[in-house]
Structure 1
């Protein structure tokens, strides 16, 4: 049984809002946020702090993120340039459009996920190195130091961690390397209030710190990763079938991050910067905002504003599902999707009554070659992933979303190295070989991650993002609308009850939304709702001017987040 931490409660004293000067950070975890603030206090910049916090989250939030996965980072430099780094996982070279088929039938999502087949080549370590090399002031070695200490000394297991473990126990206990770290000897989740240590992860981080990215992408770690994917290390008494994967050491060694121009749209005098394909975040949030900008004001009432938010999401998702994929494999019509003229065409379809989904995609290419609308795949609805936001005193801002896909990834901890592999390849439309987002060798699966930075007159104003699979897009969109159009502060916008419409028959909504907003939306606009316990888990920062920062995180969702500033203001 893990050691108990004397005198500690399960909450850890997380504070979801902080105001002050010197810089700010917001994550889902107090230990990670503190690591970022410590870096800023020592003179590091926002990129240094973001990587340090991300490495800690790889230990304390291992079911959501880590070096076995990938992500997207949007960076605003002190000189005002906005750029992005794509650290998305890649499919092995041997993958093809029917790799997830057995005979003439695609695997179920569960069979595809819990396997070596779902593991893409991780991009996180190369992404951290790239960010630090180009925009940071410290080394990867120093950035990893706080995470090494946390992995070695351990952290307190809270209720959220236990709740995330529980649904996965039946699969985790198939894999001895996973059970050793994340289950008690009796096969149950670690007790709330106990200490979770991961010496194998500490050793992995130490090796990367000492030798750089080559220690991860070549040598013993890469060999163990490839072996774990190709021959899942399951117990003799495992009660599930774990299919072999395709990832090789050569695939791992060949991985490179991509630097991409951000998406950019204007919205009510502000510039909204996001992530370009293969993420669908920047294009879909941007298209929806372009549609909504045509309403001045957004609505005559809050109900009408929310109706238009839902409908803009519906039409933007129809286009997202049809056209978004890895741009190296498919000619994504990004310019058309983000054009004002296309937004006007889509806006013209919105009436005072809710449309019936699925609605058809539009034609951003202005031709007749419009693909059939794609479906939101099951794998794209996971509640895993995490987001962190950091800003420093010099105006550098980082909005960073990263993931291992579903909560717990593919369930396989790489033996001896302490980190979970991702199941990111289930983000492909793996049941449709002709879809633009079908699997293929070397391809990056479509993502919904939406790290976002908002600038005003060239200066940083706001940054935010969220986990939540395809609900990330609507979560970020709704928070922006609550803050920019509906008169709510950033903490209020984050706390507001949420709904998500992704071109599906019903709009999913949280219980509070169903109680407060849905009745009028049903009666006045004809909306149909389903229920879900929670949507997203936002972290964000607003720059208030005169060197002041407002950091904000969830007060309740996912156990609440942690927001801090370097020098807090006194009440």
Structure 2
């Protein structure tokens, strides 16, 4: 009598039946393993500041949209789920590359209202703090000129409408922002209760619904972006401004210009070409820091002393000798990034040039997201209402916060190039950046955080080009320099700083505000980077653990 596989005697029929089942099971197992290991088709990668917004980007890519379609939907979703940072009442700057072509910049600056009083004191409050918003017009321009045609405008806004109607859970970082700035919201008489829960500051995990904002978004979806500037929404904004002392008029909205497509600023950094946003944004300073850093390191190992010196020279050159013409800036920027200027800064430092200083910002917040798709389209978007919760004023009929970009002008100095005046662009630190190698996109990056945007984008770009590990770098400690103050995220790094460097520039080590920290050793003061990098021919997403962000690799 034959034996089965376990050595027991068994009749031939049962033995055959056992073998048959075993073979069938084996074949099924092979088929399952084959299916599970079969390479999936990657549609793209989305990295943004909220999980909800990143999932919206994933949804749009799965619907057949491209990176630019997804960017429109993500931006509207962030306006709902991260109201402290961006929204319909703010401004948006874009750097994009179509199918690995040379990037282009969309200048989505906001403008001061025509009725701005130039003799105003630095005491602007609520509605008077707002410039004319650009975000809706910029997103409409992006959709019309770069969208795939596979997803309608209404479909791009629908996820944001649903998030506003059904609500979203407040994440840990957003909760901390609420806890820190909630009293300001509660004390404002201008519609900020729309962002609270029955008058109280929401806690982590609690759900916020925004029915008024949902109604506004639904009208935008139905009537188009023009309604924000020439229709019912525009009229409501103008009436709200007039009622509450704001300067934005219906004429400001009706005559708001189309966004301008500009050539980005660019430098060669080793084997890579780095592109960043032109004035009024801070891309030139980020590129200047990279130029200085490359000269300091010169293919040697990464060095914190070289980084601190490059940040010191670059940030202080921006402060003491800024690019003052925000329209005809080509020759100024060319000089700034030229060999002679680099050598001059390295030899004698920026203190040799004394001009009126740029007004120091006390606060500043923003959001940034990055998206790539399998067609070679890449986009870096930085959007903001300027300060946490912007101007602390919202129309109770529209449900979004106005920005506070008027704070960024220089007051009581009419001769200053950035003096408060009508129809002017505010100076900005926004630096959405794209890196290419061999004419292909390999890094899409940006950050919020006022002047820390520049420091963060510059050092992470340089580190990634040097190390090619975006997952590790996103959690690495960062450095920022402001005037003579050096902010080290890792306090023990002071032991690695050369005493000669400290004496040369009379540097002081400082500790930033730590009230928003989620994880030990990682402070959101240093930004919230959302980046996507191509490593070993694969796109890798990274979301800053300092905040609530999420990256998603999208499969079909």
Shared fold (TM-score greater than 0.5)?
A: yes
Structure 2: distance between partners of 1:78 and 1:329: 29
* Residue correspondence of structure 1 range 309-324 to structure 2 within 5 A: 309-321=307-319, 322-324=321-323
1:125 correspondence with 2:124 = no
CA 1:193–1:151 in structure 2 vs 1: closer, same or farther (change >3 Å)? Answer: same
What are structure 1's unaligned runs of at least 5 residues?
1-18, 102-106, 233-243, 351-357, 362-370
Structure 2 equivalent of residue 393 of structure 1: 374
Q: In structure 2, how many angstroms separate the alpha carbons of the residues matched to 1:43 and 1:400?
A: 20
Is the Cα contact below 8 Å between 1:50 and 1:390 reproduced in 2?
yes
Q: Does 1:217 align with 2:229?
A: yes
Provide Cα deviations, 1:209-267, integer angstroms capped at 9, x if missing partner. Answer: 111122111233223323333443xxxxxxxxxxx331111111111222211111110
In 2, the alpha carbon distance for the partners of 1:180 and 1:90 equals: 27
* Matching residue of 2:96: 75
In structure 1, the partner of 2:283 is 282
Q: 1:205 aligns with which of 217, 225, 247?
A: 217
For the 8 Å contact 1:326–1:437, the answer to whether it is kept is: no
- 1:273 alignment counterpart: 275
Deviation, 1:425, is 1.5
Residue 287 of structure 2 is aligned to residue 307 of structure 1: no
Contact 1:451–1:464 (8 Å) recurs in 2: yes
Q: Is the 8 A contact 1:360 1:372 kept in 2?
A: no
**Aligned 8 A contact 1:325 1:446 in 2:** no
CA distance in 2, matches of 1:59, 1:326: 35
Q: State the 1:41 CA deviation.
A: 1.7
Higher helix share: 2
1:536: Cα distance to partner?
0.4
State the Cα distance separating 1:168 from its structure 2 match. 3.0
1:509–1:529 contact (8 Å) kept in structure 2 = yes
Runs of 4+ aligned residues of structure 1 deviating over 4 Å after TM superposition are 329-332
Please state how far the C-alpha of 1:96 moved relative to its aligned partner.
Answer: 4.9
Structure 2: which 5+ residue stretches go unaligned?
Answer: 1-39, 515-522
* RMSD, aligned α-carbons: 2.2
- Assess, with a 3 A threshold, how the Cα gap between structure 1 residues 179 and 291 changes in structure 2: closer, same or farther: closer
Partner of 1:474: 455
C-alpha deviation, 1:531, in angstroms: 0.6
Correspondence 1:136 to 2:147: yes
Q: Pick from 59, 67, 71: which aligns with 2:80?
A: 59
User: Please, what TM-score do these two structures have when normalized by structure 1?
Assistant: 0.83
C-alpha distance in 2 between matches for 1:252 and 1:522: 53
Matched, 1:427 2:408: yes
Aligned residues: 498
- Partner-residue secondary structure (3-state), 1:192: coil
1:156 CA drift (Å): 0.7
- Give, in whole Å, the separation in 1 of the partners of 2:49 and 2:252: 32
Once the two structures are superposed, what CA deviation does each residue of 1:497-549 show, in whole Å capped at 9, x if it has no partner?
Answer: 112113x1211232xx212x122216463242101132101000012354x21
**CA distance in structure 1 between the aligned counterparts of 2:144 and 2:73, rounded to whole angstroms:** 14
1:162 aligned to which of 169, 175, 191: 175
Q: Which residue of 1 aligns with 2:355?
A: 372
Aligned partner of 2:424 in structure 1 is 443
* C-alpha separation in 1, matches of 2:329 and 2:437: 33
Q: Rate the CA distance shift 1:69–1:211 in 2: closer, same or farther, 3 A.
A: same
Deviation at 1:308, TM superposition (A): 1.8
Deviations 1:249-293 (A, max 9, x none): 1111111222211111110121100100111x2100111111222
Deviations 1:293-331 (A, max 9, x none): 22353555x4xx222222222222233223234624888
Q: How far off its partner does 1:31 sit?
A: 0.8
Given candidates 452, 470, 486, the residue that maps to 1:507 is 486
Q: Does 1:521 align with 2:497?
A: yes
Q: Distance in 2 between matches of 1:275 and 1:25?
A: 20
| Alpha-carbon separation, structure 1, partners of 2:417 and 2:117 | 13
Asked if 2 retains the 8 angstrom alpha-carbon contact of 1:52 and 1:147, the reply is: yes
